[in-house]
Amino acid sequence: MMATILILDDNRYNIFAVEQVLKEEGYEVLSAETGMAGLQIAVEKTPDVILLDVHMPRLNGFEICRKLKEQELTRDIPVLFMTAIYKDTQSLVKGLEVGGEDYITIPFEPQELKARVKVLVRLKHSIDQLNQKNEELTRLNKELIRANNFMNSIMDWSNYAICIGDLSGKILNFNEGIQKIFGYSLSEIKGSPIEILFPPSYRRTGKVEKILETTLAQGRYEGEVENMRRDGAVFPVWTSVTLRRDEEGNPMGFVSISRDISREKEMESMIQRQHEEIQALRNKYNFEEIIGNSEKMIEILKIVEQLSNSTDNTSVLILGESGTGKELIARAIHHNSRRKQKPFVTLNCSALPESLIESELFGYEKGAFTGASLRKIGLIEAANGGTLFLDEIGDMSPMAQVKLLRVLQEGELRRIGGNTSINVDVRFIAASNKDLDELVKEGKFREDLFYRLNVIKIEMPPLRERREDIPLLVDHFIKEFSKKTGKKIREISPEALNLLINYKWLGNVRQLRNVIEAAVVMAKKEVITTCDLPVALKSLPELPEEGLPVEKPPASHEDFIPFKLGTPLHKMEKLAVEEALRKTPTKVEAAKLLGITRHGLDRRIKKYGIQL
């Protein structure tokens, strides 16, 4: 194969002279007049020899050589320095120090140049052959290590299925692990094709043949596959298949070592679910994520705080309309208790048919009813040590209520179809948007269960009863959805905010959140305006819901409270109180305008030192 020579010299006449001599010897010649261009050619073409002028501009020959020796692709290319100074001992020594192999003076004798280049070409070819042998030795060493590891693994571990087969895939021998894991006896499996250990899908798609082909071509196959037990159960395994060779190195069969990783996969899945749940709880259900500064929300947070400092066995009943954040409070109670490292399990009693609630709660034994092919742990048992949140408990069936009462009283349960009582340690938090007192009177809810659950009662206020929290909620949701959508929404206009403050919010915080999400998506500028809000919000009903005062939006711009979302909350609240007192003749009317009680208004006047 023709050798390639690269000439680096800023003198094109020198390049021409050297090029003519080398081409006579049949070499392919490349050239460059600058160091940077030469370095690029050296990396791209990897020539066999480089002729390098010592006195190059910018990057001199020594610096170029040093860079060549630093790069893996060019470090083994011999460098022949060229110098115009006869017997330049200093340059010779320095050239050898930076990695050069030889040097020649210019002008040169053509025969001398040919001889020196020929020696260096041979040197390069010898280096290449040596590198190839080193790579082969490295490969053989790795094969030896793998073979040694394999021989060590041949020990008859019952936790590993070891199978020996021929090139056709016929099973010749195996260890007791394959009997334990797959359920086959020696007489059943010996002589059978290896496909017997794989599910039908592997046979149909030729995956087994591909595994054997890969082993034959590469000497080894390793990875996760599916196997099938004698009873037809499919399970995951980690398998390592190695090619067997005879004394002459010819393929003669294979040895596979497989390990059942079903338990590991289940654990990985469980850990992943737990990680995702914990991450979600940290991001979404942190105690600080309960948004509210109103009197009623402060009272609720104080109850949650008191519960975190007391016994963690006390049952809690949370009442309130849909969308008020009952589950958020339940999670806050759990994650601020000593049970926070244990599961928080939820069940929406209204989301399941009456026939399924009981099996979901208590679980069932295998064969308890038609279709119960496996034992299933119920949610109460799954929440052992932690908290079970029963949402919409007013929809629970009478039979399930009886069994739940037993768990609350005795701290034990029985799975459906089971005869053994199972002790459980669970904190129960129940929630409902219905009047449980009325359901008890109507005989639809057990009175004894009601009293067992109603140890601590928390009543979630509807959003229309804590209007002072709306600016804070709006600000929180704008930031949340701006981040999710990638839009830079800075604030909401005073007109739009007042419209939100005065709306009825029958869907409560959930409805407000949906409205802000839509507004962020629809907003064309950095400020949400009334144009970005749903049409329904702009036409308030003439009559408010009974007992719930709802003001219409002010008629003119000057009636709005002029603050932005960037304003600190305490300043926003102070400004709102001052504005309400200025626009109304009495404290009663000012409190009504703000949507708070007279007592709440007096407390804020004192808090902010407002002069009347």
Note the pLDDT tens digit of each residue in 563-607. 554 555 566 778 788 888 877 877 877 887 777 777 778 888 888
Question: Which architecture characterizes domain 286-459 according to CATH?
Answer: 3-Layer(aba) Sandwich (3.40)
Say what the pLDDT of residue 568 is: 58
Cis peptide before 534 (omega within 30 of 0): no
523 CB-near residues (< 8 Å, 6+ apart): 487, 489, 529, 532
4-131 topology per CATH: Rossmann fold (3.40.50)
Answer whether residue 332 shows pLDDT above 80: yes
**How far is it, in rounded angstroms, from Cα 97 to Cα 167?**
57
Contact 49, 120 (CB under 8 A): yes
Supply 311's token pair. 């016994």
As a whole number, mean pLDDT of residues 230-249 equals: 90
Question: Which architecture characterizes domain 158-264 according to CATH?
Answer: 2-Layer Sandwich (3.30)
User: What is the reported pTM?
Assistant: 0.45
Say what the pLDDT of residue 597 is: 74
pLDDT band at residue 517, thresholds of 50, 70 and 90? very high
As a whole number, mean pLDDT of residues 176-185 equals: 84
The kind and range of the H/E element at 522 are helix 508-522
Please write the tens of the pLDDT for every residue from 154-170.
545 557 888 888 988 89
As a whole number, mean pLDDT of residues 511-536 equals: 90
Please write the tens of the pLDDT for every residue from 456-489.
999 999 999 999 889 989 998 999 999 999 998 9
Answer whether residue 278 shows pLDDT above 70: no
Collapsing DSSP states into helix, strand and coil, what is residue 57? coil
What's the CATH number of domain 463-539, 1.10.1040.10, 1.10.8.60, 3.90.1530.10, 3.40.50.2300?
A: 1.10.8.60
Mean pLDDT score of the chain: 83
Count of beta carbons in the 10 Å neighbourhood of residue 209? 14
The reply to whether domains 158-264 and 463-539 share a CATH topology is: no
**How far is it, in rounded angstroms, from Cα 117 to Cα 381?**
83
Domain boundaries along the sequence of the chain: 4-131, 158-264, 286-459, 463-539, 569-608
Count of beta carbons in the 10 Å neighbourhood of residue 87? 8
Task: Report angle CA 327, 329, 331 to the nearest 5 degrees.
Answer: 70
As a whole number, mean pLDDT of residues 227-237 equals: 92
Please write the tens of the pLDDT for every residue from 348-400.
988 777 778 888 888 888 866 766 667 888 899 999 999 999 999 998 888 88
As a whole number, mean pLDDT of residues 212-239 equals: 91
Say what the pLDDT of residue 548 is: 35
